[in-house]
Structure 1
Amino acid sequence: MTLENITEKKKIEEGLKKEQIRANLYLDLAGVIIVALNKNGEITLLNKKGYEVLEYNDGELFGKNWFDTCLPSRFKDQVFEVFNQLMRGDVEPVEFYENPVITKNGKEKIIAWHNALSYDESKNVIGTLSSGEDITERKVAEEELKKNEEFLQNIFDGMQDGLSILDKDLNIIRVNYWMQEMYDREGGLIGKKCYDIYQRREAPCPWCPSLITLDSGQKHTSIVPYPSEENPTGWIELTSFPLKQQDNKVIGVIEYVKNITERVNANQKLKESEEKYRSAYNRSNLYKDVFTHDINNILQNILSSIELTKIFSSDPKRRQSFEEVTNLIYEQVIRGKMLVSNVQELSKTDEITSSLFSIEALKVLKDSLESVKSQFTQKVIDIKIDSLQDNYFVKANELLKDVFVNILTNAIQHNTNPFIEISIRISKENYKGIQFIKFEFLDNGIGIPDSMKQLIFGREYKKEGIPSGIGLGLLLVKRILEFYKGEIRVEDRIKGNFTEGSNFIITIPEAI
């Protein structure tokens, strides 16, 4: 009988056993699956977490084939083939991948694996060691988030107006389909500056509502031109909403863009229609005023004069009075003729469409002088022209003669002196870089008080001392000059004393 002291051996075995228990304890405490497979794919190690996830009792899977038992049938052949290739060394191992497993109760779960090969002492591959995390809930959440994201994107893209999200530096970080279709001229909007894409500018727009929102943290709306301020073909209503963090700090803006071109055009047409209606209404009132007051006065003067002629014609001693009355009748007829002519021409100014062209104004002025003198042959009139040039070319049309005739007629009709003097000065002046021809008509008539100097170019007055009808010819002149982009004003011939006569000044752009 041979005796052997195995105390030391027992101690080693006990130590190994304790280490094994400690190692198993560590594996069971791990919050992930730990699984080891041999070269045949059989389970040689599975920790507590693994059994829990796979819903088996402890030890129930030991020695089972992993691929036959724990993988869905649609994947097991494919995955097992890759495993065999790893064991043969035909492919490099994949450190990380995701794949589904199937539990004892037939439920599928998604596991994220980290893998490593196991080797023997001779460095031969003998299996695999893997740790896996159950990410099923995360995957479900991600899938739901993706569905929600797609749902929100569909809403985002389905809107019939534009949405654009900008960061605090005005970089475009997201747009909907409407914005993409409206502005994508160069292939892609994301990452570009909003003012570059939307307004074709090199710097932020000075009227940008998003700048105000970024600064104030409040919603702001502006009407902006489209596609650019320089060449607008439409109009956009742009509303900026602040994009805030939980601490209320503004980190960007959401721009809501609505094409309001049709609305703006409709409002403009409505405004133009209202203006035409108002103009037509005012014009009808003007013509009613002319016929109820001016024509009535002329006819009354003629009627009174006819009655006087009956008296004076039978008395040879009152021959001079008879001639004065007949002259008055003639003046009233001329006045009526001029009034009708002005009404006709005034109606034309509402529909002026002819283009302007170069006209030699001095020739038109001289023609106008002869025309006016021929109508007032019974008056003593001296008209002088002070001009440094033989000709002056202006941008005008055939209505220029009406301008000169009305100013001259006005100076003659409203002059009670026996000797009527009119001096016309012609010069040039530059205003805001534009060259004008300036005509000054200085007369020795009754003059215009300061309180009336602006009102005489309209019909919104009836003041004692201002003859009825004086504004009609001047209103015609004013309208024509506005079309020429010129102007008319009146000053005292002698500054500070309106009773010494008037100086009517008109300016018309020079034709270069």
Structure 2
Amino acid sequence: MQDEDMVNLDFFEKLFENYPDLVFIINAEGKFIKTSKGVMKYGVNNIDDLIGKNIFDFLKDEKKILVQQQLKYVLSNHFTKIERIEFETLNGNQYFGEITASLIGNESENSVLILVVIRDITKHVHLERELKENKKMFQLVIDNIPQYIFWKDIDSVYLGCNENFARVAGVEKPEHIIGKTDYDLAWKKSEAESFYEIDRVVMELNKPEFDVIEPQLQADGKEAWLKTNRIPLHDSKGEVIGLLGTYEDITKQLESRLALKESEKKYKTAFNRAEFYKDIFTHDIGNILQSIYSSVEICRICKDDPEKINELDILLKTIENETNRAARLINNIKKLSKIDSEEKLLKSIEIHQVIRNVVHELRIKYLHKKIIIIEEFIEKLNPVINANEYFEDAIYNIMLNSIKHNESKVIKIKIRTSLLTFHNHYKVKIEFIDNGIGMLDAQKEVLLESRNYKDKSIFKRTGIGLLLVKKIINYFDGEISIKNRIISDHSKGTNFTLIIPFKLNKDY
């Protein structure tokens, strides 16, 4: 053998023995023919003790079949690689190796040998397991956080999320969101577009966005409101590589806030209405008491003056009327309160019959006045509405107002009914047109809009009775309007108009 060959042989021998990975030469049956010194790190005291043993003695049973198959593969294909295999050393320890095997003998000369290199990847496997456990722990932590968490790459493609987010997004498990975009999830297209645009702003400007209020259609159909935070994520060089997002569902808070505002609005409205009623009541009851007091004072004067003794009957009648007026005022206040608190129980009521009943009652009450009632009821129409006894109170108070606030020698009240049709729905229009003293526009506003005025004289002719009318008509889903009988002159009388839903008589 030449010197050069001797040098090469010596070099390869030393390389074989001292190679950092485990190196073996085995025959086709798996018996060790030669091995590197590296085996001594795995419980082998003497290399010679390994020669003649079989590689399968160091494999777990479930891996033996796999290695046998791969060795057969080497015989026909000259090379194979097994990425991960678990071994058991002579001292009982386990380690993981990556195996490569190459055919180095000549099968035709019955000298089939296989070169096996095993790279120890135990640390890598343990590190991988630790990483997997850490990832599992991280996922467990974020899955138990009540907030909704997600993270995306630079293209707004999802890389992960917690269970809360997966649930509302409509994916079965957090890992199923990987690779999806907002367009693949449960939200509306417009919402997905909005989410994408905000992502772009955060990543392109490299600036976080906090407390962004956004709507979101969730997988269960819920329309939610979110308070969202987005923070850019960076690599080791500080370059933006994606974003982390968190949000909380603030739907209940918003609903509670809106409910509170609505409650405050209702309370304020109720308070203003109560103040308004109080002012009118104070005004009306003050007038009544003043009238009674004046009558009492005049009675004291008349009782000692024989010439005026006959006026006592008139004064007593005035006191009686004012007392009745006070009783009616209190009764109307009670009805206003009851309408707000009572359950709406309605029945069928014939409008024309109610009007005629009220006309009859008022004629008896005001026998001393000349009153002409003109009925212009629509022919063959007998309108029936869903109402209750309050409807008669409304008609009574309108007509009473037309009589009381009328300085004409002959009081005229025209009552007209007509039919209105709205897309197969019917309403009856009832007009009470009088020749009384009329109403100022401010008085109409007080009644129709429940406005309060510092000038208490505005309350004249807008007492509790007409407020009760408005309340009752609204209670029956109707409308009320007040106009001048003669448009250009409010002092020539008033037209009270009611519009109420009704059902036609079947004979009409």
Q: Same fold (TM over 0.5)?
A: yes
Moved more, 479-488 or 281-290: 281-290
Contact 1:36 1:43 in 2 (8 A): yes
Query: C-alpha distance in 1, partners of 2:259/2:291?
Result: 47
Query: C-alpha distance in 1, partners of 2:214/2:484?
Result: 48
Map of 1:386 onto structure 2: 376
Structure 2: runs of 5+ lacking an equivalent: 203-208
How far has the Cα of 1:158 moved from its partner?
A: 1.9
Contact 1:168 1:251 in 2 (8 A): yes
Q: Which amino acid letter does the alignment assign opposite residue 497 of structure 1?
A: D
SS class of match (1:447): coil
TM-score, length basis structure 1: 0.71
Query: C-alpha distance in 2, partners of 1:409/1:494?
Result: 21
Query: C-alpha distance in 2, partners of 1:382/1:501?
Result: 15
Query: C-alpha distance in 2, partners of 1:432/1:162?
Result: 49
The equivalent position to 2:140 in structure 1, one of 136, 142, 154, is 154
Describe the superposition over 1:26-54 as per-residue Cα deviations: whole angstroms up to 9, x where unpaired. 989999665433345325364xxx84x97
How far has the Cα of 1:345 moved from its partner?
A: 0.5
Contact 1:167 1:253 in 2 (8 A): no
The equivalent position to 1:37 in structure 2, one of 21, 26, 31, is 26
Query: C-alpha distance in 2, partners of 1:331/1:207?
Result: 73
How far has the Cα of 1:464 moved from its partner?
A: 5.7
Once the two structures are aligned, what percentage of the paired residues are identical? 25
Map of 1:377 onto structure 2: 367
Decide whether aligned partners of structure 1 residues 237 and 209 sit closer, same or farther in structure 2, where only a CA change above 3 A counts: farther
Map of 1:411 onto structure 2: 402
Decide whether aligned partners of structure 1 residues 491 and 317 sit closer, same or farther in structure 2, where only a CA change above 3 A counts: same
Query: C-alpha distance in 2, partners of 1:216/1:379?
Result: 82
SS class of match (1:377): coil
Q: Spell out the pairing of 1:474-485 with structure 2 (5 A cutoff).
A: 474-485=466-477
How far has the Cα of 1:369 moved from its partner?
A: 3.0
Matched length: 482
How far has the Cα of 1:306 moved from its partner?
A: 4.7
Decide whether aligned partners of structure 1 residues 69 and 120 sit closer, same or farther in structure 2, where only a CA change above 3 A counts: closer
Q: Does 1:454 align with 2:445?
A: yes
Map of 2:354 onto structure 1: 364
SS class of match (1:140): helix
Map of 2:344 onto structure 1: 354
Map of 1:140 onto structure 2: 126
Q: Spell out the pairing of 1:13-24 with structure 2 (5 A cutoff).
A: 13=2, 16-17=5-6
Q: Which amino acid letter does the alignment assign opposite residue 342 of structure 2?
A: I
Map of 1:341 onto structure 2: 331
Decide whether aligned partners of structure 1 residues 84 and 452 sit closer, same or farther in structure 2, where only a CA change above 3 A counts: closer
How far has the Cα of 1:401 moved from its partner?
A: 1.9
Decide whether aligned partners of structure 1 residues 222 and 491 sit closer, same or farther in structure 2, where only a CA change above 3 A counts: farther
Contact 1:36 1:127 in 2 (8 A): yes
Q: CA RMSD in A?
A: 5.2
Structure 1: runs of 5+ lacking an equivalent: 1-9
Q: Does 1:427 align with 2:412?
A: no
Q: Spell out the pairing of 1:77-116 with structure 2 (5 A cutoff).
A: 95-100=81-86, 109-116=95-102
Q: Spell out the pairing of 1:7-406 with structure 2 (5 A cutoff).
A: 13=2, 16-17=5-6, 35-38=24-27, 39=29, 41-42=31-32, 44=34, 46=36, 51=38, 65=50, 75=59, 95-100=81-86, 109-122=95-108, 126-163=112-149, 176-178=162-164, 190=176, 203-204=188-189, 210=195, 213-214=198-199, 216-217=201-202, 218-219=209-210, 220-222=212-214, 237-242=225-230, 244-246=232-234, 247-248=239-240, 253-257=245-249, 260=252, 264=255, 268=259, 272=263, 285=275, 289=279, 292-308=282-298, 328-329=318-319, 331-389=321-379, 390-406=381-397
Decide whether aligned partners of structure 1 residues 104 and 379 sit closer, same or farther in structure 2, where only a CA change above 3 A counts: same
Query: C-alpha distance in 1, partners of 2:150/2:389?
Result: 55
Contact 2:156 2:242 in 1 (8 A): no
Contact 2:163 2:173 in 1 (8 A): no
Query: C-alpha distance in 2, partners of 1:129/1:309?
Result: 138
Q: Which amino acid letter does the alignment assign opposite residue 240 of structure 1?
A: T
Map of 2:498 onto structure 1: 506
How far has the Cα of 1:298 moved from its partner?
A: 0.9
Query: C-alpha distance in 2, partners of 1:66/1:395?
Result: 108
TM-score, length basis structure 2: 0.71
Contact 2:168 2:220 in 1 (8 A): no
Query: C-alpha distance in 2, partners of 1:383/1:374?
Result: 13
Contact 2:168 2:186 in 1 (8 A): no
Map of 2:465 onto structure 1: 473
Query: C-alpha distance in 2, partners of 1:294/1:385?
Result: 32
Moved more, 174-183 or 346-355: 174-183
Query: C-alpha distance in 1, partners of 2:124/2:403?
Result: 99
How far has the Cα of 1:404 moved from its partner?
A: 1.9
Q: Which amino acid letter does the alignment assign opposite residue 392 of structure 1?
A: P
Contact 1:240 1:254 in 2 (8 A): yes
